[in-house]
Amino acid sequence: MKLATLNNGSRDGRLLLVSRDLTRALDAGHIAATLQLAIENWWSVEPELQALYRELNAGRAEGTFAFDPAAVMAPLPRAYQWCDGSAFLNHGALMQKAFHLDPIDGADTTPLMYQGAGDDFLGGRDDIALPSESQGIDFEGEFVVLVDEVPLGCSAEQAGDHIKLILQINDVSLRALAPREMKTGFGFLQAKPSSSFAAVAVTPDELGDAWRDGRVHLPLRVEWNGKWFGNPNGGAMNFSFPQLIAHAALTRRLGPGTLIGSGTVSNADRRVGSACIAELRAIEMIEHGAPQTGFMRFGDRVRMEVLDSDGQSLFGGIDQRVVAAAG
């Protein structure tokens, strides 16, 4: 099942069902007005949504209209909780080597995770408005899961049952602001502006065999200003999504609608490129002694796409420009 949120002028939009090929959409607001309400009542609304989704794909549903990825918001325009992990150890290892950092004790056994801002997500076609190019504007291609209510102390073995939807994200980062915030020990704040989400959220069954072991075994293709930047595979996660959920739930309940991110998709095979500029710069530092690639400038465009086994866009993709914030 594929779900999106129509931009109807409200903060939380209107829930849509979207056909598997992303060509047609259908208002699902009579079942659940928003995705947040749907996830809070998933046990009761999911069967009805699935039945209508089957009708939509069979061409039997009434009231359908052409789906436009530019007309939707982030699938969940704002979340009560957004926690982003760093589940690809190759990414951290490159950063440590490039910047001569000491290894983080236990990073290979305990996931790294920070709590981000979930109050103002962007749609996958929205401009990224930021104050200054000097802040080191970077994109980060990731996968994300959306969970229903997760009890305190939930184990990794149990956590997989709480994953209801999978999403694709550009976790925008401001690299010039990150070092100081990391040194404080309080985590990211200014270095993590609003993140952007691809148009649709999908149930795990939509991925077929590509969803296994709590991982998305598909490449994430990234283009920067129309040129290939990388296509690392999400299956290389060192920590699975159930492990990340269990880590976040160790001392707290996770409310329905909590988002858990994978961190930057990163592969040890350098031939597949990267999903963020910082990683490429780290590789350049290791190989050449200094970074050779700058960060994004106003007017730059980033595109991220994940294709299913039939070569169709799975999440509707991300295609957006970086622009100067007004005022």
Is the alpha carbon torsion for 173, 179, 185, 190 positive or negative? negative
Please name which of 160, 93, 140 lies closest in space to residue 263, comparing C-alpha atoms.
140
For 66, residues 6+ apart whose C-beta sits below 8 A from its C-beta are 23, 24, 25
Mean pLDDT score across all residues of the chain: 95
Q: Which pLDDT score is estimated for 104?
A: 79
- The 10s digit of each residue's pLDDT in 267-276 is 999 999 999 9
- The 10s digit of each residue's pLDDT in 97-115 is 887 777 878 888 999 999 9
Task: For residue 113, tell me if it sits in a domain.
Answer: yes
Percent of the chain with pLDDT over 70: 100
Single residue among 14, 37, 71 that ends a domain in this structure: 71
For 201, residues 6+ apart whose C-beta sits below 8 A from its C-beta are 2, 3, 4, 35, 75, 76, 146, 165, 166, 167, 315
Residues 140 and 251 in one domain: yes
CA separation for the pair 311, 155 (Å, rounded) = 35
Task: For residue 191, tell me if it sits in a domain.
Answer: yes
Residues 117 and 37 in one domain: no
- The 10s digit of each residue's pLDDT in 208-249 is 999 999 999 999 999 999 999 999 999 999 999 999 999 999
The neighbouring-strand residues paired with 15 are 5
Question: Using 50, 70 and 90 to split pLDDT, how confident is the model at 96?
Answer: confident
Question: Using 50, 70 and 90 to split pLDDT, how confident is the model at 309?
Answer: confident
Q: Which pLDDT score is estimated for 137?
A: 97
Residues 129 and 49 in one domain: no
Single residue among 48, 71, 94 that ends a domain in this structure: 71
- The 10s digit of each residue's pLDDT in 238-257 is 999 999 999 999 999 999 99
Task: For residue 77, tell me if it sits in a domain.
Answer: no
- Tell how far CA 41 is from the center of its chain: 23
CATH of the domain at 158: 3.90.850.10
What single letter denotes the amino acid at residue 152? Answer: L
Extract the tokens encoding 168: 């694709």
φ, ψ (nearest 5 deg) of residue 152: -55, 135
Task: For residue 76, tell me if it sits in a domain.
Answer: no
Residues 13 and 143 in one domain: no
Single residue among 24, 39, 71 that ends a domain in this structure: 71
Kindly report the number of other CB atoms within 10 A of residue 176's CB atom: 17
The stretch 159-180 carries a mean pLDDT of 95
Q: Which pLDDT score is estimated for 168?
A: 98
Q: Which pLDDT score is estimated for 106?
A: 83
The stretch 174-201 carries a mean pLDDT of 90
Residue 54 domain boundaries: 2-71
The structure's pTM equals: 0.96
Q: Is the pLDDT of residue 83 over 90?
A: yes
DSSP 8-class letter at 234: G
Q: Is the pLDDT of residue 302 over 90?
A: yes
Residues 67 and 87 in one domain: no
Residues 48 and 90 in one domain: no
Task: For residue 56, tell me if it sits in a domain.
Answer: yes
Kindly report the number of other CB atoms within 10 A of residue 193's CB atom: 23
Helix (H, G, I), strand (E, B) or coil at 163: strand
Task: For residue 217, tell me if it sits in a domain.
Answer: yes
Residues 34 and 129 in one domain: no
Q: How many domains does the chain have?
A: 2
CB environment 127-154: b (16+ within 10 A), e (fewer): ebebeebebbbbbbbbbbbbbbebeeeb
Task: For residue 28, tell me if it sits in a domain.
Answer: yes
Residues 23 and 95 in one domain: no
The stretch 148-166 carries a mean pLDDT of 98
